[in-house]
Amino acid sequence: MKLSEIARALGGELRGDGAVEIVDLAPIEDAPPGTLTFLADRRLAPRLAATRAAAVLLPPDAPEVALPSVRVAHPYLAFVAAVELLHPPPPRPAPCVDPSAVIAASARLGPGAVVGPHVVIGERTTIGRDATLHPNVTIYEDVAIGDGFTAHAGVVVREGTRIGDRVVLHAGAVIGSDGFGYLPLPEGIRKIPQIGTVVLEDEVEVGANATVDRAALGATVVGRGTKIDNLVIVGHGCRIGPECLLAAQVGLSGSSTLGARVLLGGQVGLAGHQTVGDRAQVAAKSGVHGDVPAGAVYGGYPATEVRVWRRASAALLRLPEALRRLRRVERALGLGVEPPSEE
Amino acid sequence: MKLSEIARALGGELRGDGAVEIVDLAPIEDAPPGTLTFLADRRLAPRLAATRAAAVLLPPDAPEVALPSVRVAHPYLAFVAAVELLHPPPPRPAPCVDPSAVIAASARLGPGAVVGPHVVIGERTTIGRDATLHPNVTIYEDVAIGDGFTAHAGVVVREGTRIGDRVVLHAGAVIGSDGFGYLPLPEGIRKIPQIGTVVLEDEVEVGANATVDRAALGATVVGRGTKIDNLVIVGHGCRIGPECLLAAQVGLSGSSTLGARVLLGGQVGLAGHQTVGDRAQVAAKSGVHGDVPAGAVYGGYPATEVRVWRRASAALLRLPEALRRLRRVERALGLGVEPPSEE
Amino acid sequence: MKLSEIARALGGELRGDGAVEIVDLAPIEDAPPGTLTFLADRRLAPRLAATRAAAVLLPPDAPEVALPSVRVAHPYLAFVAAVELLHPPPPRPAPCVDPSAVIAASARLGPGAVVGPHVVIGERTTIGRDATLHPNVTIYEDVAIGDGFTAHAGVVVREGTRIGDRVVLHAGAVIGSDGFGYLPLPEGIRKIPQIGTVVLEDEVEVGANATVDRAALGATVVGRGTKIDNLVIVGHGCRIGPECLLAAQVGLSGSSTLGARVLLGGQVGLAGHQTVGDRAQVAAKSGVHGDVPAGAVYGGYPATEVRVWRRASAALLRLPEALRRLRRVERALGLGVEPPSEE
């Protein structure tokens, strides 16, 4: 595809040779000859000197460059659009239910379904239009799923789960497993029945081998457009708002509440019954033991404001030396080492 | 169901209007009208003012409340019993082996088995009475399983595993995978054969997508009644006592030893060859690099007594300021900043 | 097997009674009578006093012991060889494709394949000689796999993945799932197409329920001989060198780069776009937020040189007391508690 055609499709302003042939797309640090790359930030423009890319997507205010370029308001977004232009998704296979699939008599599948081998669908489960169920997927009974559903191989959806439109479940994800609820009693551990359910709203995406547990009572809810990465656990009774991003291996204990557009870095853990406000962010690997206010950026273990945490953890590395200095000060003052009993 | 009937079934003392109709159960912060809720702790009684619940389970010594109430010794336990009363588990399906299941000729399944589509059972494997094997479960050869076994969809049990009675494996759990044992040699990495096995004793429950590795030699053992949450790894050769609770994403390195009734919070990691004593508790996200004494409550990274850790991590946030104060003290004393070489 | 025969097979020097019958192998702390054990380190020799083992593998320079012994250059390696001697792996089953497997017309399977029930292989996928596909494995279309491939039950390999020779995927592992790439825009979250692939080089091993994501563009690469433990995530676009060991629950964010022979302890997390140099090691549970130099040993959160981290985290426990001492010093000097505004 010629650069000029791409510029036109993206609605960008072409500068330089539009006849250059673009064979693929690549990030700037790794771009082979013939590729189109992008710079999200004008300050990164010096990197262009070393690239072998054939052309670049740039913000309107970036300095002139030697390479042919296309100026666009949001280069990363334009890059994504260009990826889709050069790599259109393969056409959906023709609707087809593999004969090895076992679909209960009372289940209902909308038109356009592609159902792979060894899929199992339970009694009274309903699935909307244009579902794609890859091989070895198991949907239990009494599940209600909207249109445009995709379940990759090995996905399990337990009984009673409710799923909106255009939801994507990656391979091995488990939706609706029992919450971890037990009463330790003197005579043994008593299981608390987990009779609630899970609601995944429209456009939710759940990563490979992630798990979303059913509520003990009521519902675990994942809000519209929220994306959950691999190996995350969403505990029973959590309520996650719309358009959150939960990176890999995040662990939400039972009854966590997340507002809208919350960002949780990888391996973040939330203790139970905490609330994270709208648009709050928590840095990777943090352990949250209290509420996080809306808009806050938290980090650390236990998590606090991330700049407080960063300063404290940098200071920590100077602590052994500071203890020696403190001792020197005490000696200079003729003070003993016994700490006073109270401050 | 009338509150008076519930009070009678629970053996509790009714106060107020027993004719009120209970339509469901709910936690106090979230209780819709018509529900029965509970208060585990008399100090929480003020919360009752705002609830919309129709009635409440209370400890005997709680103050009088406006709502109809049932006095019981252990309100949370009574609540669980009430959940089971109002939501009796659905009757087990009639015994049935789906024709798509592939059961080896030498495998033995006890009476009462419900075997879903696409289940696979290997040679010489024996399973007791009343097993429920959901779809797409794979049990390898030479596995011995007791009565009342439940395996949710996608569970994998590797060869030679031994499983007691009334064990529940949630969707995607893997029992008996190879331990992570390698010798890094100058000429490459040598795999250490993992020829041991896994023993899950009676009433063990393993969460969705959790994994319990086989021992290199001998057995990885999970004690009677121990409950393991989602996405946990139990490394090769671990020995876990009875009635432990391991929250989600816990990682036990090889040859960890846990006593009885140990509680591990979410994302806790244990270095290899450590011992955690009976009834010890480790706070969520802690990293344990040494033994934990029986009855201790540990936390932090590296983990120590949790109150020591809490005090230290609170103090850490004051450290940057303390370093400035220390410098001021040194200036007042005319001391330079070079740390003395030794304390 | 007689000890003398084992000594001969291992090429070791027998001392003591070679006629003793060895019934099995065991680690020293746990060795039942009749077993052969080993001591990797001569300093551990005192432990032999208490063992019930029948014989021991020792380094050449270990002191004389009461037990019959075999002297070998590398006792742990010899022990592994002895395990294989006494427990030879079972012969591979005869080649066989279960009739319930669904193999696409255009897929190609080399000779010697053992394909279990309910396996699914997609269009144009090619698999080399002597593959073992356990039940309920799903290989999507356009996958290329070398010789000697083993996939345990429930494994999923997504479209376009390229896998070398003698690769082992443990139960539930997912290779080639979508990377976690999204653009949060004011109007909603935009998915970045994940059109790259995954390359697993020869002799890679991936643990149970671990996930390796496909690159957004290009390839996620796991180098020759690298071993990945259970529940690890390798994010999109990571490049892992040869012969690395990644312990359980490690999380590599997108575009992490690991050199050769890197060791990552359990639950280690890497922020995105970091580089870990050849032979570097990172202690369990560390959070890496910057590059790790070749050969370095890092630890902590955020990770730094492990001995710096150890000293700092030990000092941290003395901080509350140090703050009291600092206050005492200030009092002695007549200084107030207000921190100076700047150091």
Are B325 and C340 within 8 A, CB to CB? yes
The pLDDT of residue C236 is 97
Looking at residues C45-67, what average pLDDT do you find?
A: 89
Q: What pTM, to 2 d.p., does this model score?
A: 0.96
Q: Which residues in chain A (38-67) have CB-CB distances under 8 A to chain C? A: none
How many CB pairs below 8 Å do chains A and C form together?
192
Confidence at B61, pLDDT banded by 50, 70, 90: confident
A302 touches chain B (CB under 8 A): yes
* For residue B69, pLDDT beyond 80: yes
Looking at residues B35-39, what average pLDDT do you find?
A: 94
| Closest by Cα among A154, B236, B159 to C93 | B159
B76-109 burial, b at 16+ Cβ within 10 Å, e below that, comes to bbbbbbbbebbeeeeeeeebeeeebbbbbeebeb
Confidence at B329, pLDDT banded by 50, 70, 90: very high
A236 belongs to the catalytic site: yes
Which string of DSSP letters, residue by residue, matches A1-18?
Answer: -BHHHHHHHHT-EEES-T
Q: Which residues in chain A (83-142) have CB-CB distances under 8 A to chain C? A: 83-84, 87, 89, 98, 100, 116-118, 134-136
Burial class (CB in 10 A: 0-12, 13-18, 19+), A183: middle
Q: C112 with C131: CB under 8 angstroms?
A: yes
The pLDDT of residue A343 is 41
* For residue C338, pLDDT beyond 90: no
* For residue B340, pLDDT beyond 60: no
Q: C246 with C269: CB under 8 angstroms?
A: no
* For residue A63, pLDDT beyond 90: no
pLDDT in tens, B194-214: 999 999 999 999 999 999 999
* For residue B267, pLDDT beyond 70: yes
- The DSSP 8-state label assigned to residue C184 in this structure reads E
d(C-alpha C68, C-alpha C2), whole Å: 12
Burial class (CB in 10 A: 0-12, 13-18, 19+), C184: middle
**Amino acid identity of C253?**
S
The pLDDT of residue B338 is 66
Lowest mean pLDDT among A202-211, B286-295, C83-92, C243-252: C83-92
Preferred mutation among B156, B317, B324 to probe C, highest tally of C CBs within 10 A: B156
- The DSSP 8-state label assigned to residue A195 in this structure reads -
The mean predicted confidence, pLDDT, of chain C is 95
Are B209 and A174 within 8 A, CB to CB? yes
Are B171 and A158 within 8 A, CB to CB? yes
Q: What Cα–Cα distance (Å) separates residue C69 from each residue in A128, C4, C8, C21, C41? A: 70, 10, 12, 13, 14
Confidence at A338, pLDDT banded by 50, 70, 90: low
Are C100 and A98 within 8 A, CB to CB? no
**SS3 category, C36:** strand
Are A323 and B316 within 8 A, CB to CB? no
Identified catalytic residue from C74, C236, C273, C289 = C236
pLDDT in tens, C134-160: 999 999 999 999 999 999 999 999 999
Burial class (CB in 10 A: 0-12, 13-18, 19+), A151: buried
* For residue B342, pLDDT beyond 70: no
State the ipTM, two decimals.
0.95
d(C-alpha C157, C-alpha C164), whole Å: 13
d(C-alpha C252, C-alpha C236), whole Å: 9
Orientation angle between helical segments B319-333 and A319-333, nearest 10 degrees: 40
* For residue C343, pLDDT beyond 60: no
Q: How far is C224 from chain A (nearest CA, A)?
A: 21
Residues of C in contact with B190 (CB under 8 A): 77, 80
User: Which residue intervals of C14-127 are DSSP H helices?
Assistant: 75-86
Orientation angle between helical segments C319-333 and B306-316, nearest 10 degrees: 50
**SS3 category, A182:** strand
**Amino acid identity of B80?**
V
Q: Which of A156, A253, A333 sits opposite B172 (nearest CB)?
A: A156
- Kindly state the tokens that stand for C3: 């000890």
Q: B47 with B59: CB under 8 angstroms?
A: no
- The DSSP 8-state label assigned to residue A80 in this structure reads H
Looking at residues A241-262, what average pLDDT do you find?
A: 98
Q: Which residue(s) pair with B145 in the sheet?
A: B127, B163
Identified catalytic residue from A74, A236, A273, A289 = A236
* For residue B44, pLDDT beyond 90: no
The mean predicted confidence, pLDDT, of chain B is 95
The pLDDT of residue C191 is 96
Tell me how many degrees the CA angle C322-C324-C328 measures, rounded to the nearest 5. 110
Q: Which residue(s) pair with A329 in the sheet?
A: none
Q: B66 with B54: CB under 8 angstroms?
A: no
The pLDDT of residue A47 is 79
* For residue C341, pLDDT beyond 70: no
Instruction: Decide which of B46 and C176 is more confident.
Output: C176
* For residue C88, pLDDT beyond 60: yes
**SS3 category, A161:** coil
Q: Which of C26, C30, C170 sits opposite B177 (nearest CB)?
A: C170
How do beta strands A297-300 and A303-305 pair?
antiparallel
| Closest by Cα among B136, B103, C101, B135 to A123 | B135
* For residue B250, pLDDT beyond 70: yes
Q: C184 with A227: CB under 8 angstroms?
A: no
Q: C278 with C262: CB under 8 angstroms?
A: yes
Q: What Cα–Cα distance (Å) separates residue A277 from each residue in A292, B6, C209? A: 6, 39, 32
Which chain B residue lies closest to A171 (C-alpha atoms)? B172
The pLDDT of residue B224 is 98
* For residue B62, pLDDT beyond 90: no
Work out the number of other CB atoms within 10 angstroms of the CB of residue A2: 13
Q: Which residues in chain C (170-229) have CB-CB distances under 8 A to chain A? A: 172, 174, 177-178, 180, 182-185, 188-193, 195, 209-211, 213, 217-218
* For residue A2, pLDDT beyond 60: yes
Which residue is associated with the tokens 């009734």?
B261
* For residue A50, pLDDT beyond 90: no
How do beta strands B182-185 and B188-191 pair?
antiparallel
d(C-alpha C214, C-alpha A62), whole Å: 32
Q: A34 with A23: CB under 8 angstroms?
A: yes
The pLDDT of residue B30 is 81
d(C-alpha B18, C-alpha C95), whole Å: 70
3-state SS, chain B, equals: CEHHHHHHHHCCEEECCCCCECCEECCHHHCCCCEEEECCCHHHHHHHHHCCCCEEEECCCCCCCCCCEEECCCHHHHHHHHHHHHCCCCCCCCCEECCCCEECCCCEECCCCEECCCCEECCCCEECCCCEECCCCEECCCCEECCCCEECCCCEECCCCEECCCCEECCCCEEEECCCCEEEECCEEEECCCCCEEEECCCCEECCCCEEECCCCCEEEECCCCEECCCCEECCCCEECCCCEECCCCEECCCCEECCCCEECCCCEECCCCEECCCCEECCCCEECCCECCCCEEEECCEEEHHHHHHHHHHHCCHHHHHHHHHHHHHHHCCCCCCCCCC
The pLDDT of residue A143 is 98
Are A231 and C253 within 8 A, CB to CB? no
Looking at residues A241-269, what average pLDDT do you find?
A: 98
Looking at residues A182-189, what average pLDDT do you find?
A: 93
C338 touches chain B (CB under 8 A): no
Q: What are phi and psi of A324, to 5 degrees?
A: -65, -40
Which residue is associated with the tokens 């809810």?
A221
Looking at residues A313-328, what average pLDDT do you find?
A: 97
Instruction: Decide which of B209 and B31 is more confident.
Output: B209
Q: How far is A185 from chain C (nearest CA, A)?
A: 31
| Closest by Cα among C275, C280, C281 to C256 | C275
The pLDDT of residue A340 is 57
